[in-house]
Structure 1
Amino acid sequence: MMYKTYYSSPLGQILLISDDDNLLALKLECHRFYDKFEASDLVQKDDLGVFKNTKLWLDNYFAGKAPDIEELPLSPAGSKFRQDVWNILCKIPYGEVITYGEIAKKLSHNTDIKMSAQAVGGAVGHNPISIIIPCHRVVGANNNLTGYGGGIKNKIKLLKLEKVDVDQFHIPTSGTAL
């Protein structure tokens, strides 16, 4: 059985999904796939331990603290490639950013298989546990502020919360430079 609860954040309502033991998804209300998750057959159960711990983690995060991702039992579903990308995302320090290209280089170094920034972008875009698995910390080449399922404005808010100087970035007017 899968369960859901809600968290009120400065970015709007967040939907949390669990299998009772692990956090499977975290979706902002404005996320492009939110309705799909919200409409699914999930049982609302607000008192699960994983939900209580996740809400505490989010409280600390939105209070400007850097909570430890290791505190939460995360279980995002995805291919080995996506899991590898998400593992790298989990290692991006609070308040820092990395480019899609840098992630591709890390993957290539670890596997001896050439990776593209675009392939990494696809995996980052399918991160089911946004904010906690910090896909908002990934930026495009040449300081392009691209892609975020919760919207660029929310990406900027999250980076500002982490004291990242967002003035160094710009939003491309055409295309999605990774």
Structure 2
Amino acid sequence: MKTIILPGFSSKNKEWAGEVKKHLKDSMVYEWKHWKSGNSKDFSASDEAMMVMHWIAGNPVNIIAKSIGTIVTMYLLRDKCPIEKLILCGMPLADLEESEIEIYKSLSEFDAKRVIVLQNKDDNHGSFKEVSKLLGQLNNKIKLIEKSRSDHEYPYFEEFVEFLTSG
């Protein structure tokens, strides 16, 4: 099964996405429009989600998403993209308005057995505590893994592979 990697907003996330790709047999890194244009105003989560939908052409995929990539993924879920397994890292709740957090409601209907969330305890873009509270309201059966880091880096490549290759 192909895995699509949806990285964070900053172009420095290309390196993280490249590392994820090295650990997976059949994977592709999606590059945000604003990475190519150099203009951060070119980013729209809903527009990027539409492009990803066209990119995968209705084929079932796994998704690994980090930070802003988790928001794009919520649009994909809302629009019934055929996602088999889903890994979310670094949900950026601290950077979002309440109205923007609403899109995460898309998770409430996704099969909890097919998703894991990894969140660093003291991620400055959204703490484990914040993410735990939100997931508790949306779907408390989703597996949320607290990591001990206090940054927005998610180098948990072996865990990604383990989840994607498990039954």
Fold-level similarity (TM above 0.5): no
Name the structure where helix makes up a greater proportion of residues. Answer: 2
* Greater Rg by CA: 1
TM-score by length of 1: 0.28
TM-score (norm 2): 0.30
